[in-house]
Amino acid sequence: MAKTGQNDEQDKMLEMSKLNQEIGLLNNQFKDLLFENRKKQRMIQDENEALDKAIEDLLQTFDQRVEELQTKIESMSIAYESETEQLRRLEGLYPELKLDYDKVLEQQKLKQKEKSKVEAAVIIQTWWRECCKQKIITKTKTNTAENKKPKKAKTMKK
């Protein structure tokens, strides 16, 4: 039995040696996996930091753009309010100006009518004077013609 005990002990030692080798191999694999894991983790962290930086840049650009647009909107709103107020003020003046304009147009029409009447009167007067002149000329011609005819001598009756 001593041999069997010794064999058992040798078997146990052999098994322990195999297990230690397996533990060593597993530890090496574990270290390799841990190294790979840390390497991948570092790559992911770097990628994450790059994405965070890109997001931060985008947010900053977005905030600047929104601020610019807000400023533009505010200035446009102020300009709109100012122009709206000016429009209301001018619209209040429009009816009065329209009445003045209509009066001026009416006066121009009346002046034009008066001018047309004067021109018509001048034309009629010119025509009438010409008719009178022709009448006088005709009368004068007939009177001159009568004057040129020999007059019969008047005989006296005794």
pLDDT tens digit sequence for 75-102: 999 999 999 999 999 888 889 889 999 9
Domain span at residue 80 reads 13-107
Q: Does a structural domain hold residue 121?
A: no
Q: Does a structural domain hold residue 68?
A: yes
Q: Does a structural domain hold residue 118?
A: no
Q: Which residue has the tokens 């709103």?
A: 77
Give the integer Cα–Cα distance in Å for 81 and 89: 12
Q: Does a structural domain hold residue 42?
A: yes
What local confidence, expressed as pLDDT, does residue 10 receive? 87
pTM to 2 decimal places: 0.43
Q: Does a structural domain hold residue 80?
A: yes
Q: Does a structural domain hold residue 35?
A: yes
Give the integer Cα–Cα distance in Å for 106 and 112: 10
What local confidence, expressed as pLDDT, does residue 55 receive? 97
Domains in the chain, number:
1
Q: How far is CA 156 from each of CA 63, 91, 147, 153, rounded to the nearest angstrom?
A: 138, 101, 22, 9
Q: Does a structural domain hold residue 45?
A: yes
Q: How far is CA 38 from each of CA 32, 53, 101, 155, rounded to the nearest angstrom?
A: 10, 22, 89, 169
